[in-house]
Structure 1
Amino acid sequence: MHRILFFFCLWVSTCNRAQETPPAIIQNEFLFTEGADFLQCHASTIEQASNGKLVVSWFGGTHEGNKDVVIWGVRSEGKGWSKPEVWADGRMDDSLQYPCWNPVLFRAKNEKTIYLYYKVGLNPREWWGMVKTSHNNGKTWGKAQRLPQPILGPIKNKPVELTNGTILSPSSTEVSENRWTAHVELSEDHQQTWKSYSVDSASTMNVIQPSILVHKDGKLQVLCRSKEGAVATSWSEDHGKHWSALTATHLVNPNAAIDAIAFRDFFLIVYNPELPGKEWWEGRAKLRLAYSYNGTDWRDLLALEEAEKGEFSYPTIFEDSQGLVHIVYTYNRITIKHLVLQF
């Protein structure tokens, strides 16, 4: 009996050590030549096409919020990437163009169509949701369609597909500079129509840009960027229609985007481990990967960036069909960095 107990304890200890071991970074690269096509870029997203190739998108132009900011993208081609191309813009007519924001790439399971969601408008308080689709692995994109109000589409992080086929899109509204609220948008007809459900709209916390985690027991969890100095969380037990009160996690948040996914039997989050500064852009010089078994207790696993100055922000984390983890993020607003991790 003691022998069995010994080997059981050894097995548990080994498992814990294995999951606490940092993954190997097997690829570390920039996706394009700095300054060749635009001065600044931000808010990258990544997806895997049905042919196994990767597609990445972001917004770029002279400066965030300028009318020349459009949605750019690249496709993986063997060992390299295609030249950046404009995939969408905010042109209304020959004399009027609005800036574009926050693309999100998404392909549902067992489908070939890739959706490119993005925002168009003067600022996050006035923007509206747009969508394009590609049926040839991101080589070409169809006509831009405006989402029906008040649907905004995924604001920064990817939708998730539930076991019943429902698509749940993490979204949020910047009501004003002083009031932010999160919600989810639910589609039961393959992303053709959507219904919106608030995430604790009565909360005094100001949250945007949620990530959705699906737990093994069917519960859903959102993790949100906040103005309150911590990553905020809320839970749903009815597939996203009702949510618990928002609470602060122990993960600090400098008013910067995060992203999280379910991976194997635990969860991963990429975040900036700093408290808010005097300005909204402060606290983005460090970027970390952390893990949790329950979505509540998080431990740092890997330092992705560890600088005194700079901006390494707006991460997207994604698991490909081979079980490799990809992270893309803004690198000083001049390029997009891509990491591939092997656990």
Structure 2
Amino acid sequence: MRPVVSLLLFPSLFGVAAADPAVIASEFIYESGPYPQIHATTIEETAEGLVAAWFGGTKERHPDVGIWVSRQVNGKWTPSVEVANGIQYTLPDGKAVRHPTWNPVLFQPREGPLMLFYKAGPTPQTWWGMLTTSVDHGKTWSTPRRLPEGILGPVKNRPLQLTDGTILCPTSEETPEKPSKWTVHFERTRDHGITWQRTPALHDGLAIQAIQPSLLTRKDGTLLAIGRTRQDRIFTISSADQGVTWSSVRLGNLPNNNSGTDATTLRDGTHLIVYNHVGGLPGKWGGIRTPLNVSVSQDGETWKAALVLEKDLGEYSYPSVIQSKDGLVHITYTWKRQRVKHVVIDPAKLQPKEMMEDGRWPE
């Protein structure tokens, strides 16, 4: 393990991001781990510092894939620990019946324990929601419990806690039929995951196949959700009543390669999204997962190019982004399915540029 690395000391290690004054630090959370592949990172801040998680194992969908957690202590990341797996029961001969786990999401409510949502099950079409909690900032975890039938919890990106304490979870479903219906819905809990309410699917899942929303808060108090589609662009949907009802789903302006995105609203009201600024093939399985980019917006509709995190060949995907109490932005993401990358940004030093007229990233 190693502490956050200054880009001024090692500018050649981190590619194009190293030349940008907004990037304070960049590091791998671990050099090697007990898993050939990782994916789907998540990061959160607690009263004792940063906590990150991901799923790791032989490969995605393999039954040995578990949820792994690391904490940043005195500037260094602790060795990762498996805190959850997909074991359902053990047979009399001692052989475990086990499913893969998926998409951990860390969330620290204003009050109460640190929450870790994740999925378990053979596939995204058949998985179910799980929840474990930590009262000591990620050091130890409760016995995971299954969420109620029909409740998945946040499917990839972190929830939003409303002013009344309600935790609003952005989520989605994929059906097994062909073509698969990819639909967005939202779930809410007022008692930290004991009881739940949910919206129905908010669209037919075919005209726009959309999943994995992130929640943004506009300056007028309305909510905006944006995320991944199979239609070559991110989707957008809005709510004027704190997530009880929602507008129609529509396609936004940014490209999407059928890969996960994440976004957050900074304390000054600026919206920030981390995503691959590259399109895919509409209706087909995605495209390349490079470059990995950061864009910013004042209204959640019109975006400006702010930063390129990765530009070389390889998979750089499934980001997670938060703003910490000191105002800095922390981003984690899958680095070639081999490691977890952590980048720290000073948003005040971003220098946004207008996109090209055809939507291409500016030179």
TM-score by length of 2: 0.85
Residue in 1 that maps onto 2:253: 250
Between the aligned partners of 1:234 and 1:285, the Cα distance in structure 2 is: 26
Aligned-pair distance for 1:281?
5.4
Cα RMSD between the aligned structures?
1.5
Is the 1:272–1:287 contact (alpha carbons within 8 Å) kept by the matching residues of 2?
yes
Residue in 1 that maps onto 2:317: 313
Residue in 1 that maps onto 2:34: 37
Aligned-pair distance for 1:198?
3.5
Is the 1:112–1:137 contact (alpha carbons within 8 Å) kept by the matching residues of 2?
no
The one-letter code matched in structure 1 to 2:340 is I
Q: Of 65, 71, 75, which aligns to 2:71? A: 75
- The reply to whether residue 196 of structure 1 matches residue 192 of structure 2 is no
Residue in 2 that maps onto 1:274: 278
Is the 2:171–2:211 contact (alpha carbons within 8 Å) kept by the matching residues of 1?
yes
Between the aligned partners of 2:342 and 2:200, the Cα distance in structure 1 is: 33
Aligned-partner SS, 1:198? coil
Percent identity of equivalent pairs = 40
Q: Of 294, 298, 301, which aligns to 2:303? A: 298
Residue in 1 that maps onto 2:231: 228
Q: Of 315, 323, 326, which aligns to 2:327? A: 323
Q: In the comparison of the two structures, how many residue pairs are matched? A: 318
Write the deviation string for residues 228-264 of structure 1: whole angstroms up to 9, x where unpaired: 0000001111111211111111100000101111012
Between the aligned partners of 1:293 and 1:188, the Cα distance in structure 2 is: 30
Between the aligned partners of 1:248 and 1:161, the Cα distance in structure 2 is: 26
Write the deviation string for residues 82-133 of structure 1: whole angstroms up to 9, x where unpaired: 1111010011122200000000000112x25100100000000000000000
TM-score by length of 1: 0.90
Is the 1:102–1:118 contact (alpha carbons within 8 Å) kept by the matching residues of 2?
yes
Is the 1:206–1:226 contact (alpha carbons within 8 Å) kept by the matching residues of 2?
yes
The one-letter code matched in structure 1 to 2:306 is L
- The reply to whether residue 26 of structure 1 matches residue 28 of structure 2 is no
Aligned-pair distance for 1:23?
5.9
Is the 1:253–1:272 contact (alpha carbons within 8 Å) kept by the matching residues of 2?
yes
Aligned-partner SS, 1:68? coil
Is the 1:287–1:306 contact (alpha carbons within 8 Å) kept by the matching residues of 2?
yes
The one-letter code matched in structure 1 to 2:143 is K
Aligned-pair distance for 1:192?
2.2
Is the 2:262–2:321 contact (alpha carbons within 8 Å) kept by the matching residues of 1?
yes
- The reply to whether residue 239 of structure 1 matches residue 236 of structure 2 is no
Is the 2:230–2:286 contact (alpha carbons within 8 Å) kept by the matching residues of 1?
no
Between the aligned partners of 1:69 and 1:201, the Cα distance in structure 2 is: 32
Write the deviation string for residues 23-65 of structure 1: whole angstroms up to 9, x where unpaired: 621110001123x3110000000111122x1110000001100
Between the aligned partners of 1:29 and 1:187, the Cα distance in structure 2 is: 35
Cα gap change, 1:119 to 1:23, in 2 (>3 Å): farther
Aligned-pair distance for 1:199?
5.5
* Unaligned ranges ≥5, structure 2: 1-19, 91-95, 349-363
The one-letter code matched in structure 2 to 1:142 is S
Higher strand fraction: Structure 1 or Structure 2?
A: 1
- The reply to whether residue 288 of structure 1 matches residue 293 of structure 2 is yes
- The reply to whether residue 54 of structure 1 matches residue 50 of structure 2 is yes
Between the aligned partners of 1:150 and 1:245, the Cα distance in structure 2 is: 22
Q: Of 62, 67, 91, which aligns to 1:66? A: 62
Between the aligned partners of 1:170 and 1:240, the Cα distance in structure 2 is: 10
